[in-house]
Chains A and B, each alone.
Chain A
Amino acid sequence: MDTDDCWTVAGRRFASRLIVGTGKYKDLETTATAIEASGAEMVTVAVRRVNLSDRKAPMLQDYVSPQKYTYLPNTAGCFTADEAVRTLRLAREAGGWNLVKLEVLGPPPLLYPDMEATLLAAKALIADGFEVMVYCADDPVAARKLEDMGCVAIMPLGAPIGSGLGVQNPLMIQSIIEGAKVPVLVDAGVGTAWDAAFAMELGCDAVLVNSAIALADDPVMMARAVSHGVQAGRLAFRAGRIPRKGFASASSPMTGLIR
């Protein structure tokens, strides 16, 4: 990890540009090992009812310590602004912090962000003192509105959640990055290390990955792969890629050839 190349969100500084989700793993042991291998410093978590019939079930916090990782509570499963605000108020009380991931989704099969509801919820949450990292459409106009409203990070989808299709709309992601003063993260759709590298090469500040790691045949190895992808993409972005050309430019000298 390049500790000289940190990024900052809402005044918090992170060396790792990979945020990982904690869902969909086969068990909590694998969750913990894969997250460790990913090098992530921030993890997303969901807020759900305590299971009253199995109160002694192991808890995420016992495996992924909130003292070690920055917990980013999400609003997964919320389809209205009110549900999202209610969920995050509970998350704030459970965790004691106000940095959150807002997502208000439209219906299956795409679970595409519902931007009207997302804007409403973001406004209510910011008024209530939350620092909102917001999952959103790959829509530069909506992204600008969210930033103007006070969201601390803009997180457009690369592709539908869990689809593994990679960044489908690089032009719009790049446009959002160019227009934003707050961090921009590609939040959904990463399928493998290459997708994360590609998102970082576009100039994202970080990427958020869950399914690609959790559902890989070997989640721990994929966590390492995605981490390397993020770092490779970031370095390539900073190094500055060569322009694309429609013709050849020889790599070896054209002088001094034998005759």
Chain B
Amino acid sequence: MPMNETMQLLDLTVNGEGVRVAAGASVAQLIAQMELDTRKVAVERNLEIVPRSLYAVTLLAAGDALEIVHFVGGG
């Protein structure tokens, strides 16, 4: 990948907050960047579930809206 492309950043929205990742980053890389445990979270991208098995091959695009959730106490 040419140098000028690797330096580009993508603006995403994750859980309602602005987050930047390197152009070409996958969902797996986003989760790693956030230091989350993939076994304990679920990811929705633009209202579609991203199966855990596809994190590495699901590439992010500018403007993507992601929800990353986990289980918390509830009744």
What residues of chain A have their CB less than 8 Å away from a CB belonging to chain B? 21-25, 28, 31, 44-50, 52, 55-56, 59-61, 66, 71, 73-74, 76, 86, 89-95, 161-162, 188, 208, 210-211
Cβ–Cβ contact A211 & B69, under 8 A? no
Do residues A49 and B34 form an inter-chain contact, with CB atoms below 8 A? no
Question: Looking at the complex, which one of A25, A28, A50, A71 makes contact with B68 (CB distance below 8 Å)?
Answer: A50
Residue in chain A with minimal CB distance to B19: A52
**A113–B73 alpha-carbon span in the complex (Å):** 21
Contact partner of A52 (CB less than 8 A), chosen from B14, B42, B52, B74, is B14
Tell me which residues across on chain A come within 8 A of B75, comparing CB atoms.
21-24, 44, 46, 74, 76, 161-162, 188, 208, 210-211
Closest-CB distance, B17 to chain A (whole angstroms): 6
Chain B at the A interface: SS class: strand
Per-residue CB contact flags for chain B residues 10-42 toward chain A (1 = under 8 Å, else 0) read 000011110100000000000000111000111
- CB pair B34 A45 closer than 8 Å: no
A-B pairs with beta carbons under 8 Å apart, 16 shown: A22-B72, A22-B74, A22-B75, A45-B73, A47-B72, A48-B72, A50-B34, A50-B41, A55-B35, A59-B70, A60-B70, A60-B71, A93-B43, A93-B52, A188-B75, A210-B75
* B17 proximity list for chain A (CB < 8 A): 52
Residue of B17, B36, B73 with highest tally of chain A CB at under 10 A: B73
CB atoms of B51 and A93 under 8 A apart:
yes
Cβ contacts under 8 Å, B14 to chain A: 52
CB within 8 Å for A73 and B51 given contacts A52-B34, A86-B44, A90-B44: no
B70 contacts A50, C-beta separation under 8 Å? yes
Choose among B34, B69, B70 the residue with the greatest number of A CB atoms under 10 Å from its CB: B70
Check B49 against A46 for contact (C-beta < 8 Å).
no
Bound CA span A68–B49, Å:
27
Q: Are B69 and A90 in contact (CB under 8 A)?
A: yes
Whether B69 and A47, one on each chain, are in contact in the complex, defined by CB atoms closer than 8 angstroms, is yes
4 smallest A-B Cβ distances: which pairs? A46-B74, A21-B75, A210-B75, A94-B42
Contact B49 A89 (CB under 8 A): yes
Q: Which residues of A contact B72 (CB under 8 A)?
A: 22-23, 45-48, 60
In the complex, chain B residues whose CB is within 8 Å of the CB of A89: 44, 49
> B71 to A45, Cβ gap below 8 A?
yes
| B residues in contact with A46, CB < 8 Å | 71-75
Q: A162: which B residues are within 8 A, CB to CB?
A: 75
A59 surroundings in chain B (CB, below 8 A): 40, 70-71
Q: Write the nearest CB–CB distance from A90 to chain B, whole angstroms.
A: 4
Given known contacts A52-B14, A52-B15, A89-B49, is B71 in contact with A61 (CB within 8 Å)?
Answer: yes
Q: Kindly report which residue of chain A lies nearest to residue B71, judged by CB atoms.
A: A45
Does B1 make an interface contact (CB < 8 A)?
A: no
Within the assembled complex, what's the spacing in Å between the Cα atoms of A95 and B16?
23
Q: Decide: A94 near B74, CB < 8 A? Known: A49-B67, A52-B14.
A: no
Q: How far is the CA of A233 from the CA of B5 in the complex (A)?
A: 68
Rounded to whole Å, the gap between the CB of B54 and the closest CB of chain A is 11
